[in-house]
């Protein structure tokens, strides 16, 4: 069970409340304005329960999750699943069709094969044994090293919070250099980076002797069948499903539903940079959200947007990546190529009505690329900002509300 923290500041008519905790291998946060009669602690407990439920249902790191049970089931056999997982699987399948396989949750086997998923630990163990055998035979081996940096509280709830997070990060960096673990993030065992619940290893860089052979992913309709009415699903092929491109967004929407059920009219919720906002602050100002610059080596903002009654998510190549023979490859899989995404897109930010959609579309548009992705976003009424690497420089391509976005930097 995660440890939840809550704080509130009394106001004339509304109290400003904050709640946060650990979930899905990262952090969630909520800021909301509640009347004095509201039970802030009960609301915080409900928020924590909501994200823990999503993690327990959709984690590919938890052996007893609904998703893990589905992934272990014999292809063709039906597996009972909860309503939440059924809804996410259906929406993932819809977006997969719509984007012509650019978004495909059937990449779980590929994610493992390339060293980013829950099977990566087993892969590394096999690699270590292989290397040991090579060494015993008197042959040259390559040293494999993992460099990890925790990614905590990437969501930035307002400009005051941006400054506070910057100060916290500087303090955490100093503590890390001194060999101490930052108080805000408990030490965790080293492990893969991009699962829902599991060890945080968010800046993974590994030298690998041999790259897997690319294996294109079949369309999702050939891999998955969902029976919503009967609460069940089945694999149509021996593949693993990975919800890392949509489950956090759904978790954010679950946080939103909790606050809506409690009658809260002004709130901002987020999980690891995926955010959703309702209304404005009591003074009428919108929620100011910092957009992170796609920098491999340091954290910083390249700009900010105002978020009102919408959700925002960003997918990028700069947080989870691996070095394959000197080539830096993103953890984002290109289902059509069956390998890590290659290209010049550094990040894609999407604003959509729900965070489930914003999360999934950010991944899909990154795979599609700037030209096809922007065209797709415009056809479907999405606001999207592409940050493109141009040598050592960055340039932006925007559509919808981002059409007039200035240069990256």
Averaged pLDDT for residues 47-51: 98
CATH for 156: 3.10.520.10
pLDDT of residue 201: 36
Domain that holds residue 374: 5-118+145-402
DSSP class of 1: -
CA–CA distance, 214 with 337 (Å, rounded to integer):
7
Nearest residue to 368 via CA among 390, 384, 392, 353: 384
Is residue 37 domain-resident? yes
Is the per-residue pLDDT at 167 higher than 90? no
C-alpha 106 chain-centroid distance: 16
pLDDT at 119: 61
Q: Which helix (H) or strand (E) holds 125?
A: helix 120-136
Q: Model confidence at 147, in pLDDT bands (50, 70, 90)?
A: very low
**Number of Cβ within a 10 Å radius of residue 180:** 11
> 179 falls in which pLDDT band (50, 70, 90)?
very low
- Token code pair at residue 269: 């919720």
Question: How far, CA to CA in Å, does 64 sit from each of 54, 61, 235, 317, 406?
Answer: 13, 9, 17, 30, 47
pTM for the full predicted model: 0.76
| Higher pLDDT among residues 243 and 210, named by residue | 243
Residue 362 lies in a domain: yes
Pairing relationship of beta strands 26-34 and 79-80 according to DSSP bridges: unpaired
The per-residue pLDDT for 162 is 36
Does 132 fall in a domain?
no
Domain assignment present for residue 235? The answer is yes
Torsion over CA: 37, 41, 47, 50 (sign): negative
- Alpha carbon dihedral 350, 354, 360, 366, in 10-degree steps, equals -10
Lowest-confidence region among 164-178, 193-207, 335-349:
193-207
| pLDDT value at residue 192 | 33
- Is residue 134 domain-resident? no
In a domain, 237, yes or no: yes
Q: Which of 36-40, 49-53, 81-85 has the lowest mean pLDDT?
A: 36-40
124, part of any domain: no
Gap between the Cα atoms of 43 and 51, Å rounded = 13
Mean pLDDT in the chain? Answer: 77
Q: What average pLDDT does range 8-22 have in this prediction?
A: 81
At residue 174 the predicted structure's pLDDT band, cuts being 50, 70 and 90, is very low
pLDDT over 60 at 33, yes or no: yes
CB 69 within 8 A of CB 79: yes
Q: Answer yes or no: is pLDDT of 193 > 70.
A: no
Residue 130, pLDDT score: 40
* Beta bridge partner(s), residue 397: 386
Question: Is 343 a domain residue?
Answer: yes
Provide the pLDDT confidence category of residue 408 given band limits of 50, 70 and 90: low
Contact 243, 196 (CB under 8 A): yes
Alpha helices (H) in 154-210, listed in sequence order: 159-177
Nearest CA among 271, 365, 269 for reference residue 309: 269
For residue range 295-320, what is the model confidence (pLDDT) as tens digits? 666 667 778 999 999 999 998 865 65
Write down the pLDDT at residue 394: 87
pLDDT digits (tens, 9 = 90+) for 264-300: 999 999 998 899 999 999 999 999 999 987 766 666 7
* Residue 362 neighbours by CB under 8 Å, 6+ apart: 313, 314, 315, 348, 349, 350
DSSP codes joined into one string, 278-333? ES--TTSPPEEEEEEP--SS---EEEEEEESSEEEEEEESSSSEEEETTEEEES-E
The fraction of the chain above a pLDDT of 70, given in percent, is 66
Number of domains in the chain: 1
């Amino acid at each position: 069970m995660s440890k939840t923290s809550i704080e509130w500041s009394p106001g004339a008519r509304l109290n400003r409340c904050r709640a946060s905790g650990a979930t899905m291998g990262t952090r969630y946060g909520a800021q909301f304005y509640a009347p004095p009669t509201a039970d802030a602690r009960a609301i915080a407990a409900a928020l924590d329960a909501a994200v823990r439920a999503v993690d327990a249902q959709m984690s590919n790191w938890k052996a007893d999750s609904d998703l893990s049970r589905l992934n272990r089931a014999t292809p063709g056999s039906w597996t009972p699943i909860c309503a939440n997982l059924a809804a996410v699987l259906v929406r993932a399948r819809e977006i997969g069709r719509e984007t012509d396989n650019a978004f495909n949750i059937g990449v779980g086997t590929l994610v493992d094969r390339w060293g980013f998923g829950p099977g990566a630990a087993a892969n590394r163990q096999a690699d270590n044994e292989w290397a040991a055998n090579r060494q015993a035979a008197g042959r040259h081996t390559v040293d494999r090293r993992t460099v990890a940096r925790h990614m905590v509280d990437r969501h930035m709830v307002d400009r005051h919070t941006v400054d506070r997070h910057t100060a916290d990060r500087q303090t955490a960096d100093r503590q890390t250099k001194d060999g101490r673990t930052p108080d805000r993030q408990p030490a965790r065992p080293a492990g893969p980076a991009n699962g829902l619940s599991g060890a945080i290893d968010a800046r993974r860089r590994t030298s690998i002797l041999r790259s897997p052979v690319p294996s294109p992913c079949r369309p999702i309709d050939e891999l998955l069948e969902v029976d919503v009415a009967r609460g069940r699903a089945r694999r149509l092929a021996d593949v693993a499903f990975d919800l890392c491109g949509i489950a956090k967004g759904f978790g954010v929407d679950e946080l939103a539903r909790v606050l809506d059920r409690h009658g809260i009219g002004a709130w901002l919720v987020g999980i690891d940079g995926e955010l959703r906002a309702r209304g404005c602050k009591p003074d009428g100002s919108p929620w100011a959200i910092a957009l992170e610059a796609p920098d491999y080596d340091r954290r910083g903002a390249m700009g900010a947007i105002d978020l009102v009654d919408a959700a925002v998510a960003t997918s990028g190549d700069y947080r989870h990546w691996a070095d394959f023979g000197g080539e830096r490859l993103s953890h984002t899989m290109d289902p059509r190529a069956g390998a890590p995404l290659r290209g010049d897109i550094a990040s894609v930010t999407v604003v959509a009505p729900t965070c489930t959609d914003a999360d999934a579309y950010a991944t899909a548009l990154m795979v599609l690329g700037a030209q096809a992705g922007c065209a797709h976003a415009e056809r479907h009424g999405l606001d999207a900002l592409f940050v493109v690497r141009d040598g050592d420089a960055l340039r932006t391509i925007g559509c919808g509300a981002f059409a007039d976005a200035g240069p990256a930097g």
